[in-house]
């Protein structure tokens, strides 16, 4: 496919970008001892962008033939010409940058694709059944296996000529417990870019036991006291915080729209213990779910430092915003499917580990909470956020105490990071299952060490 795109693009002047994108989605869900849903979905085609009359034009085609691609190029040109008069700031030619060439393949592709579907179905059935058997209080359970296989070829008129393959499997277990009319739930999930063994670094039955135990234990848990508190955040909540409440504010298109990070380069935005990065590679631990070797503009991905020792040092860029700010692109342009235009998106976002052990951090905490297990929440361009917490433990005199339920954590993410006074040497990617949304989905990951900070807890008096 890369050769075909190269043959087509030779006939055109000006800037043209061709991106072939093929995806196969597979999904299996087990509930109540049977398979509730199975799905296989295939999507492939070519997305086309041109830079014409100082603006972008985009078109796509599900027919990867030379004739259809040429027609899409002309459609994109007409779209650019029609909208050029409405663009306030016209684009000049894109500056020259390093562009990717060659072929890449992330690990695990053949391992996952060659695994029989029947084996994946059987795994989902066995894990769901084990979850229900764990306790008589478990009233329902579900187990879902998903995988996304992708292949891409990206060719641009200024020199990108690259192709790659990758696969992203994920596994999720959920359990619901009931006692005296009261319900609680627990879940365990993992998603990676990589193979079967990378996905199941933890045994599926162990995930079932943990999900069920969480659901059962929460039935008898009390409630946290609301208000400001000292908290130790696990890698899952650190990941959610830096992705949702920090990462989106430093995406350069949001910066240009007035996010809280605008105009703050070179300023202190966090504790000196905090170094925040976003990488296209799986740093520090294998299998990060947002791994890509090349972005959808043909830029090799890199490890971009966003915050260095508490100082904001970079935004996340595509080629256009990099030109605006006079910097190199960071390889953050991503599109979900061939018919989507590339947007600035995170990949794998994390806080760099520190020097303390988790045990040392807990032991030096006289009064606070240990928060683990991120649930959904919300954040906005001001850095304000509110997230649910699955498991929260009271800390008293340096020791973990009782489990509490119904906890939320809220505040301004930059204020929270300014309050960080301890960072552990541990590291975990813990946000690889599920998707990030920004007009279109994206597979990302996030994580880091355990950190101690100050935040507002929402709770309920028992």
Q: Which of 291, 242, 244, 451 is nearest to 365 (CA)?
A: 451
Count CB-CB contacts under 10 A for residue 380. Answer: 13
Q: Indicate whether 212 and 233 sit together in one domain.
A: no
C-alpha–C-alpha distance, residues 187 and 178, integer Å: 15
- Give 65's strand partners: none
Range of the domain at 382: 222-458
Among 184, 219, 254, the domain-final residue is 219
Q: Are 138 and 161 in contact (CB under 8 A)?
A: no
Q: Are residues 280 and 140 in the same domain?
A: no
Could you give the number of structural domains in the chain? 2
Residues 386 and 262 in one domain: yes
CA–CA separation, 350 and 362 (whole Å): 21
| Contact between residue 341 and residue 420 where contact means Cβ atoms under 8 Å apart | no
Q: Which of 406, 401, 403 is nearest to 389 (CA)?
A: 406
Same domain, yes or no: 264 and 382? yes
- Strands, DSSP E only, in 83-181? 101-105, 138-156, 161-179
Is 237 found in the same domain as 136? Answer: no
Interatomic CA distance for residues 446 and 288, integer angstroms: 8
Q: How far apart are CA 387 and CA 129, in angstroms?
A: 30
Do 242 and 171 fall into the same domain? no
DSSP 242-268: IIIIIGGGGBHHHHHTT-TTTT-TTSB
Which burial class, exposed, middle or buried, applies to 139 when counting CB atoms under 10 A from its CB (0-12, 13-18, 19+)?
middle
Confirm if 72 and 46 have CB atoms less than 8 A apart.
Answer: yes
Query: For position 460, what pLDDT does the model report?
Result: 65
| Torsion over CA: 68, 71, 76, 77 (sign) | positive
Encoding tokens for residue 57?
A: 């034009």
Do 97 and 207 fall into the same domain? yes
Query: Chunked in runs of 10, what are the mean pLDDT values of the chain (462 residues)?
Result: 96 95 98 95 98 95 97 96 86 88 94 95 97 96 98 97 98 96 94 96 94 96 92 97 97 96 98 98 97 97 97 97 95 98 98 98 98 89 94 97 94 97 97 91 97 91 44
Is there a single domain that holds both residue 277 and residue 319?
yes
Whether residues 249 and 264 share a domain: the answer is yes
- Residue 276 and residue 368 share a domain: yes
Phi and psi, residue 13, nearest 5°: -100, 170
**How many whole angstroms from its chain centre is CA 173?**
19
Q: What residues contact residue 46 under an 8 Å CB cut-off, 6+ apart?
A: 5, 18, 19, 20, 21, 60, 61, 64, 68, 69, 72, 338
State the residue for tokens 């105490």: 401
Final residue of a structural domain among 219, 239, 256:
219
Nearest to 160 by CA among 269, 270, 252, 296: 296
Strand pairing category for 428-429 and 311-312: unpaired
Same domain, 27 and 123: yes
pLDDT, residue 462, reads 42
The domain spanning residue 173 has which CATH number? 3.30.2290.10
Sheet containing strand 428-429, edge to edge, reads 311-312, 303-308, 276-279, 348-351, 445-448, 428-429
**Is residue 367 classed exposed, middle or buried when 0-12, 13-18 and 19+ CB atoms within 10 A define those classes?**
exposed
Q: Length of the chain, please?
A: 462
CA dihedral angle for residue 451, residue 453, residue 459, residue 462, rounded to 10 degrees:
90
pLDDT for 310 equals 98
Q: Pull the structure tokens for residue 357.
A: 């052990």
307 and 158 within one domain: no
How far is CA 43 from its chain centroid? 21
Contact assessment for residue 316 and residue 329, using Cβ atoms and an 8 Å cutoff:
no
CA distance 451 to 415: 14
**Cα–Cα distance for residue pair 2/107, rounded to 1 Å:** 21
Name the β-bridge partners of 296: none
Q: What share of the chain is helix, strand, coil (3-state, %, to 5)?
A: 25, 40, 35
Residues 6+ apart with CB under 8 A from 366: 397, 398
Do residues 350 and 446 make contact, with C-beta atoms less than 8 angstroms apart? yes
Domain boundary among 155, 185, 219: 219
């Amino acid at each position: 496919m890369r050769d075909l795109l190269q043959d087509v693009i030779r006939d055109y002047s000006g800037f043209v970008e061709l991106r072939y994108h093929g995806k196969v989605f597979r999904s299996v869900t087990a509930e109540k001892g049977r398979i509730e849903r199975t799905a296989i979905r295939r999507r492939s085609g070519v997305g086309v962008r041109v830079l014409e009359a100082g603006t972008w034009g985009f078109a796509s085609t599900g027919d990867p033939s030379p004739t259809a691609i040429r027609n899409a190029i002309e459609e994109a040109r007409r779209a650019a010409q029609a909208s050029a008069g409405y663009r306030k700031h016209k684009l000049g030619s894109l500056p020259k940058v390093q562009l990717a060439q060659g072929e890449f393949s992330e690990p695990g592709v053949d391992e996952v694709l060659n695994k029989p579907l029947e084996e994946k179905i059987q795994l989902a059935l066995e894990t769901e059944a084990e979850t229900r058997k764990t306790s008589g209080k478990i009233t329902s359970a579900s187990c879902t296996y998903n995988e996304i296989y992708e292949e891409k070829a990206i060719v641009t008129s200024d020199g990108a000529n690259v192709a790659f393959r990758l696969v992203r499997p994920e596994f999720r277990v959920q359990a619901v417990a009931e006692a005296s009319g009261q319900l609680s739930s627990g879940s365990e999930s993992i998603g990676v870019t990589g193979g079967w063994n990378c996905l199941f670094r933890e045994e599926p039955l162990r995930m079932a036991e943990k999900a069920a135990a969480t659901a059962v234990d929460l039935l008898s848990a009390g409630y946290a006291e609301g208000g400001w508190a000292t908290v130790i955040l696990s890698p899952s909540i650190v990941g959610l915080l830096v992705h949702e409440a920090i990462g989106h504010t430093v995406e350069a298109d949001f910066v240009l729209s007035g996010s809280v990070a605008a105009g703050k380069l070179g300023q202190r935005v966090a504790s000196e213990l905090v170094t925040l990065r976003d990488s296209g590679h799986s740093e520090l631990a294998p299998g990060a779910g947002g791994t890509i070797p090349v972005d959808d503009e043909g830029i090799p991905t890199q490890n971009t430092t966003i915050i260095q020792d508490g100082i904001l040092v970079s935004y996340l860029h595509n080629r256009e915003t990099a030109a605006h700010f006079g910097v190199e692109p960071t390889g953050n342009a991503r599109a979900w499917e061939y018919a989507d235009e590339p947007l600035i998106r995170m990949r794998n976002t994390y806080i760099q580990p520190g020097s303390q052990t988790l045990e040392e951090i807990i032991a030096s905490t006289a009064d606070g909470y240990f928060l683990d297990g991120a649930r959904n929440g919300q954040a906005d361009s001001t850095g304000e956020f509110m997230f649910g917490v699955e498991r929260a433990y009271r800390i008293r005199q340096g020791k973990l105490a009782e489990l509490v339920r119904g906890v939320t954590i809220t505040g301004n993410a930059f204020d929270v990071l300014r309050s960080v006074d301890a960072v552990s040497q541990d590291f975990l990617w813990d946000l690889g299952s599920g998707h990030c949304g920004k007009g279109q989905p994206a597979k990302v990951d996030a994580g880091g060490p355990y950190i101690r900070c100050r935040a507002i807890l929402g709770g309920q008096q028992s």
